[in-house]
Structures are given as structure tokens and as C-alpha cells.
Structure 1
Amino acid sequence: MPGVEVTVEGLSKSFGRANIWSDVTLSLPPGEVSVLLGPSGTGKSVFLKSLIGLLKPEKGSIVIHDTDLVRCNESKLYELRKLFGVLFQDGALFGSMNLYDNIAFPLREHTKKSESQIRDIVMEKMDMVGLKGDEMKLPGEISGGMRKRAGLARALVLDPEIILFDEPDSGLDPVRTAYLNQLILDLNAQTDSTFLIVTHDINTAQTVPDNIGMLYRKHLAMFGPREVLLTSDDPVVSQFLNGRRQGPIGMSEEKDTAQAAREMAEVDELDGLPPIKPQLTATGGLPERKAVARRQKRVRDMLHTLPPAAQEAIRRSFEENSAPQARAQAVGAAPYSRPDDPTRALPRISPDDDPTTQLPRVR
């Protein structure tokens, strides 16, 4: 069974007189990877905190398993939070605890499992993210990328049905970001949980998610399957996803009307839509991601409602990605895992690999 659906309806949040966003409505499809984008300061992290009940919106609803998190009592909210795993921007590890104890913390806090059971779970999750052998290290003794992976392992120990990622790529170089993106998709293939990622990385937004949403000027500009947004003619969505200067978004989010009009005229001179980048696939040996077929069916059902240029680009993308060579090209390198069971997950990293980064050396 896929992860649970999260239905957000008419959500509004303010701090005093400062409105963060209003009337946000979307549904996170069960078992799929969704990305939330937007210029800095548009309230993306606030949205994540609202989803798990750390912040209380003034209006709207967040429904999971027929329960509204905005209006339920504290005991019910406490139980529903166990459905979530959260990877915070900096990992949010306890500095005085080693990695093993950091990752074991949710199990000791929320379950009655024995220490031997906890050890089995912790070691499995550390192995999944490539941290086996680093159990006794303190957060201050490891790199930022390793801290993020430790935070991800901790988010996984309760086998959550919904996993939230708050800018997992912040502070990482492009290579580590690529490895982390592959790891996220591989985890989705293994768990079929519902993922929501907040990111600024355009390559991540173009190649990782099944669905893309964008916050802009205190509203949700658009949310839907990746193919629909990557071919959208909405000026805000198109500008952001293509990383262009030309468009309505300026340095301070809002841009002078005359300047925006001049830049949009430049955009209009460009010919056609850019090609849709292929989506990453799970590493060879892992289950095929069930989310892909579910998303593609939704896209085909709504294809006739899209502009002709978008329809053509999406059809071409489906045809290219269905070819065996395209699928092989889209498969990224196995990121971190070194399983003892070769039938379970990812290829083992050889002893010649650099133990300080857990990444294979270039030969």
C-alpha cells in the first residue's frame, strides 16, 4: 500500500499582521514524491511546520486519515505526528549524542522496543543511508552531508508514511546533491511513502519529483504533475523552473511592471518549450517506483486539457523515457547504501572507496 494522502484545503497562515500565505489548496498523492518551490521568504518551511502541527493556521484544514490536524485534540495530533518523518535543514541532531543514539532517540521515546530490536532497526537505517561504521561519531566530527544523512536515518526509524524534507540540498555541493537526490528516490522505491521536499535547486525540481508546487506572492501559484508544470506557460512557474532572470520575479520578489513587461517580451521571442528533463529512476536492483505509473495515468487523463505545445512535449517525453536506453541513462549511480543482503538494495561500496566521504573515488 502507498503512503497516505495529505489533503490541504484553504489553508492560511499569518504572524500577527504579516500574512505568510492564504487559501493554499492541494493534495499530496499517496506514495509520490512532491516538491514545493518558491522565492526566498514565501513561507515554504512554515508550510511544512503547519503540516505536522508545529504551527497552527488561522483558516483551512489538513486532512490525513479522515482527521483534520488543524482542529483535532492534542492526543490525536500526537498520534498523527507518528505518521511523519522530518529531515530538517541542518539535520537537527543532538550535539552531545553520537549518531547511533541520535537515530535511536525516536524509538526510545515513542516505542517499547527492546534495545536489541532498536539496534537492529538503527543499523538497518544507517546502512540504507551509507553510515554503517559511523555509529560512535558525534555530529561535530562529521561533514554537513553526513549530518543530513544521519537526520534522514532518524526520520526513517519509525517507518513513517509521510516524509518531509526541508531543503535537504542546502549547503551541499552539486555532486552530493545528486547523490542525495538518488538516495531520496531509492528510498521512495523501497518504502512507497509520501514525500514532500522543499528546495531551491532547479535540477532537483526538474528531475526528482512526481509533482511540483510553487508558492508566490502569498498564494499557491500552481500544483500538479511534473510534466504539467515543466511545460506550463504561466510566467511565474516558467521563469522559476527555467532559472531565468526574465519574468515577474525580481530580487525582492515583486518587480517593476514596465521592467517585467520588457523581459517578458524577450521570453516571447524564444522558440517553443524547452525539452522535459527525464526523471531519475531507482537504482538498478531496487523495485520500480509505483508512483511513476500512477502519475503518468493522471497526466494522460488530463492531457487533452493542456495547450497543444504542452501536449506534444509531454507525449514526446513519455515516448523517449519509455525507451530502454533512456531508462538506463536516467538511472543515477547508487548513492550510499552498502547492504549485507545484495538482493535487498544497492551495490556495495568497495574497500578502495574513500571512507571519509562514503563516495566512490573517480578512477
Structure 2
Amino acid sequence: MPGVEVTVEGLSKSFGRANIWSDVTLTLPPGEVSVLLGPSGTGKSVFLKSLIGLLKPEKGSIVIHDTDLVRCNESKLYELRKLFGVLFQDGALFGSMNLYDNIAFPLREHTKKSEAQIKDIVMEKMDMVGLKGDEYKLPGEISGGMRKRAGLARALVLDPEIILFDEPDSGLDPVRTAYLNQLILDLNAQTDSTFLIVTHDINTAQTVPDNIGMLYRKHLAMFGPREVLLTSDDPVVSQFLNGRRQGPIGMSEEKDTAQAQREMAEIDELSGLPPLKPQIEASKGMPERKAVARRQKRVRDMLHTLPPAAQEAIQRSFAEQEHAHGRAAVVGAAPYGRPDEAPTSEIPRVPDAPLGAPVDRGRHHQR
């Protein structure tokens, strides 16, 4: 059973006279990994806080299990929050508690489980994120990456249906970011929960999620399956996902119109779309990610509505994936060049060194 669907409709948030974003409309598909992008200061973290009811939007709705979080009473909101697990940017661990007690905290606070039951759950989650054996270390004694993994273990202890990640790769080197990205997808394969990741890392955005959304100029520029966003001809989306200087986004978010037009003319001289980067797969021995088939079916159903260049790039990408999987099955090789190894139910331990349906364009959402 996949995680819960989250339906956001016409959401607007301001602080005083400062509008953060308006009329944000999207649906997080159940059990899939979604990423929210946008230039700095566009309110991505504010959006996460609104989803869990820490901030109250002025307009719109957030519907989970037929309940609107924006309008429900405090008692119902408290219960719905138990559906969420949250990984904060720095892990947000209690500095005076060891890792075991940090991870056990939600169980002691929100359940009536015995200490023996709590121990079983905590040790299981620590093993899942590669921290077995580090139970009695304090947050100040471990690396930033290990703190993030401890924060992730804490986010998992209540077996949430929705997990939010607020810039999980911030402060990490590329190698540890790659480990963390693999861990996120392996966890999704195991739990089939609904994930939403806020990130600035372009490689993460290109290779991890099933769906991509982007906030720009106080609105949701676009939200949809990864293949559609990665082949989009929308100037803002294309500029951001390709990490280009040329385009509407400038140092102060919006460029001078004439300059943006000159730069877009330079881009127009280029022909074709770059090949789509393949999505990271779950590690060998993990359950198959059911989200992939669900997303690809949506993309195939809407393929005829996309520009010809996008259709060609997406069809080529699907064909290459099918060929790679068929070849792996024939020769016994793992996809993307991973060596064969004995199947295991555990996620490989991360080193202890420093951790190291149409496209939704903000107006209509897909159910």
C-alpha cells in the first residue's frame, strides 16, 4: 500500500505585507519521491512548514485523508502530524542526548511502547541508516553527515506515511551526497512512503525524484513527472535544471528583460535536448520501487501532449532503460555498473567518515 496522497490547492502565504508565494496547486502522488526546487529565498522551507501545520496559510487547502490541515481543529492537526517524518537541514538533534535517546524521543513522546519495544525499533532504524554501533555517541562527537542520518532515523521511528527532507544535502561533499541520495531511494523502496525533498543540488534533482516542482517569482512555475520537467522548454525550468547562467533567473532572481531576451536568443541557437540522466535505482537486494512503474505509466499516458523533441527524448530514455534492464537480466549484471553481490535485506553501511494526467503548471493538478 503506497504512502498517502497530499493535495495542495490554491495555497498562499505571506508574512505581513511580504507575499512569499500565491496560488500554489499540486498533488504529491502517493508513494513517490518528489523534489521542490527554486532560487534561494522563494519560500521552499516555508512550504514544508505549511504542509505540517507549523505555519498557517492565508488561503487554500492541504488535504490528507480527506481532511484539510488548514481548517481542521488542533486535536485533528496533532493526529495528522503523526503521519509525517521530517529531516531538518542540520538534523536538529538534542545536543545533550546520545543518538539512541534522540531517535527514541518521538516514541517516548507519542506512544506508550515499553522500553524493550522502543529499543527494537530504534536499533532497526539505526541499522537502516548505517548507524548501528553508534548509539551512545553525542551529536557533537560525530560528523555532519552522521547527524543527518541520525535525524533521518528519528524521522522514521513512527513509520510515517509522508517524509519531508529540508535540504538534506546541504553541507555535504558530492560523495556523501551520493550516499545520502542512494539511502533515500532505498528507504522509499522499503517503505513506499510519500517523500518530498527541498534541495538546490541539480544532480539530486536530475537523478533522484519521480516528480519535480519549481517555485519562482512567488508562484509554482511547474510540477510534474521528472521526464517532463527535464525536457521542458519553459525558460525558467530549463535554466535552473541545467544550471545555466543564460535565462530569466539572475543574481537578484529576476533579470533585466532585455538581457534575458539576449541570453535566450543564445540558447535558441542550440539544437536538440541533452540526454536524460537515468534515475538512480534502489540498491541490489532492495524491493523494487513501485513508484517507478506508476510514474512511467502517467508519462506514457500524457506523452502525446508534449512537444516532439520532448517526446523523442523521453522515448529514447525509456528504451535505454528497458535495454539496460534486459541486458542486466541476461548477463546477471546490476544496472548502472554496480557489481553483483549476494542479495541482502540491509542497506549497505555508509562510511563513518564525514557523511558523508498533464503537467501541473501551478493551476491544475493531477490526481
Confirm or deny a common fold (TM above 0.5).
yes
Query: Could you tell me which residue of structure 2 aligns to residue 256 of structure 1?
Result: 256
Amino acid at match of 1:172: L
**Does 2:331 match 1:330?**
no
Query: Could you tell me which residue of structure 2 aligns to residue 216 of structure 1?
Result: 216
Q: Which runs of 5+ in 1 are unaligned?
A: 335-340
CA contact (8 A) 1:9 1:25 kept: yes
Amino acid at match of 1:72: C
CA contact (8 A) 1:284 1:331 kept: no
- Tell me the CA shift for residue 278 of structure 1: 0.3
- Tell me the CA shift for residue 323 of structure 1: 1.8
Displaced runs of 4 or more, over 6 A = 331-334
Matches within 5 A, 1:167-206: 167-206=167-206
- Tell me the CA shift for residue 322 of structure 1: 1.2
CA contact (8 A) 2:206 2:241 kept: yes
- Tell me the CA shift for residue 330 of structure 1: 3.4
Amino acid at match of 2:305: T
Query: Could you tell me which residue of structure 1 aligns to residue 345 of structure 2?
Result: 344
The number of residues matched between the two structures is: 349
Task: Give the secondary-structure state (helix, strand or coil) at the position aligned to 2:31.
Answer: coil
Scaled by the length of structure 1, the TM-score of the pair is 0.93
Amino acid at match of 1:344: S
- Tell me the CA shift for residue 347 of structure 1: 4.5
Query: Could you tell me which residue of structure 1 aligns to residue 331 of structure 2?
Result: none
- Bigger CA drift: 264-273 or 179-188? 264-273
Structure 1 331/89 Cα, relative in aligned 2: closer, same or farther at 3 Å?
farther
- Tell me the CA shift for residue 329 of structure 1: 3.9
CA contact (8 A) 1:182 1:333 kept: no
Structure 1 355/231 Cα, relative in aligned 2: closer, same or farther at 3 Å?
closer
- Tell me the CA shift for residue 345 of structure 1: 2.6
Query: Could you tell me which residue of structure 2 aligns to residue 266 of structure 1?
Result: 266
Amino acid at match of 2:268: D
**Equivalent-residue separation in structure 1 for 2:81 and 2:104 (angstroms):** 17
Query: Could you tell me which residue of structure 1 aligns to residue 55 of structure 2?
Result: 55
Structure 1 284/221 Cα, relative in aligned 2: closer, same or farther at 3 Å?
same
CA contact (8 A) 2:167 2:199 kept: yes
Task: Give the secondary-structure state (helix, strand or coil) at the position aligned to 2:119.
Answer: helix
Structure 1 333/243 Cα, relative in aligned 2: closer, same or farther at 3 Å?
farther
Structure scoring higher RCO (CA < 8 A, sep ≥ 6) equals 2
Amino acid at match of 2:199: T
Query: Could you tell me which residue of structure 1 aligns to residue 231 of structure 2?
Result: 231
Task: Give the secondary-structure state (helix, strand or coil) at the position aligned to 1:323.
Answer: helix
Matches within 5 A, 1:1-363: 1-324=1-324, 328-330=334-336, 343-347=344-348, 355-356=352-353
Q: Which runs of 5+ in 2 are unaligned?
A: 329-333, 357-367
**Equivalent-residue separation in structure 1 for 2:355 and 2:240 (angstroms):** 33
**Equivalent-residue separation in structure 1 for 2:5 and 2:209 (angstroms):** 16
**Equivalent-residue separation in structure 2 for 1:92 and 1:323 (angstroms):** 43
**Equivalent-residue separation in structure 1 for 2:159 and 2:217 (angstroms):** 36
Structure 1 56/94 Cα, relative in aligned 2: closer, same or farther at 3 Å?
same
Amino acid at match of 2:200: H
Query: Could you tell me which residue of structure 2 aligns to residue 337 of structure 1?
Result: none
Structure 1 73/358 Cα, relative in aligned 2: closer, same or farther at 3 Å?
closer
**Equivalent-residue separation in structure 1 for 2:233 and 2:348 (angstroms):** 41
Task: Give the secondary-structure state (helix, strand or coil) at the position aligned to 1:147.
Answer: helix
Structure 1 42/333 Cα, relative in aligned 2: closer, same or farther at 3 Å?
farther
Amino acid at match of 1:253: E
* Sequence identity percentage: 89
CA contact (8 A) 1:121 1:157 kept: yes
**Equivalent-residue separation in structure 1 for 2:209 and 2:337 (angstroms):** 14
CA contact (8 A) 2:34 2:209 kept: yes
